[in-house]
Amino acid sequence: MTRVRSMRADARRNHERLLEVAAEAFAEHGEGASLDDIARRAGVGSGTLYRHFPTRRALLEAVYLDRIEAIAARADVLAAQRAPGEALVEWLNELAAGMIRVRGLRALLGPAVADGGPAAVSACGDAVRGAAARLVGAAQAEGTLRRDVEPVEVLRLAHGVATASELADGEGKAIRRYLSLLTEGLRAGTGS
């Protein structure tokens, strides 16, 4: 956030106000919230919004970076508290629940679980992929996770579980059940 601190005071206020209003708009309308409406509600012109955040994705990342970093940090907390396989499952549960609870988060994480490309390269993607890699590696070393499972595959599956659970009841109540069904197939000894 050094960029924000080095801005003029009025530019910094605009930046912070845009983030505040965007968070409210994304919570209300999801990732498709109108950028023009966000600018209007923040009391700035659309040009000001685009100077600070040239794309919708840039604005989503700025709004949700702290939440993504907190989700990634939870991986290390859970790894310190639980056996590796249990830590992975609990983290996936929290990740999937977060994708439902925080509107727009799933759209932001989608490119993070995609293969390559510039959209996948971001602070958000790096944090989540790094957390998944640590947990997957530990569960594989423990012998509770198949050796042929890649961290990005686990992230894609969590993304799918969040989507399926939201479709089932709109609130994600089925996440634990779906993760249980999923992790049975990921256990060591069940495949390659």
Spell out the residues 6+ positions from residue 6 whose beta carbon is closer than 8 angstroms to its own.
none
- The total number of structural domains in the chain stands at 2
Same domain, 85 and 27: no
**Is 192 a domain residue?**
no
**Domain ranges, residue 35:** 2-54
Model-level pTM? 0.78
At 117-158, the pLDDT tens digits run 444 447 778 889 999 999 999 999 999 999 999 999 999 999
At 22-73, the pLDDT tens digits run 999 988 888 889 999 999 999 999 999 999 999 988 898 888 888 888 999 9
- Residue 119 CA: distances (Å) to CA of 19, 40, 55, 82: 21, 27, 11, 33
